[in-house]
Amino acid sequence: FISMTISDVAGRGEQKGIQLRYNGRAESVDLLAKVRIELIVCDYEVDFLIETITEAVRTGNIGDGRIFVSPVARSIKVRTGEDMARLET
């Protein structure tokens, strides 16, 4: 792959948050701690990486996550100004 970023994030999906008890009161927490992994890959790597990631993290439970695939039209290196418009495909 060309690039990878891993971030700690908060979000919700099918889990719809959780109920916590604090001082005898129920408190709703709508956002849950999650990890976001962003990869920039060549077209020929997409299917292999989807399969690899899915097999590695699937538990069969709600909260396993989602994989979104979208094209990258351009990539500019800020340091050099180099236009990476034609990433290796």
| Tokens linked to 65 | 């996550």
Query: What is residue 86's predicted lDDT score, i.e. its pLDDT?
Result: 58
DSSP lists the bridge partners of residue 37 as 6
Average pLDDT over residues 58-80: 91
Which range scores top for mean pLDDT: 25-29, 52-56, 62-66, 70-74?
A: 52-56
Encoded tokens for 2: 């060309």
What is the DSSP code (8-state) at residue 53?
H
Mean pLDDT of the chain: 86
- Per-domain residue ranges of the chain: 4-83
Token pair 């994030």 is found at 9
User: What is the per-residue pLDDT for 59?
Assistant: 96
Average pLDDT over residues 72-86: 85
CATH, domain range 4-83: 3.30.70.120
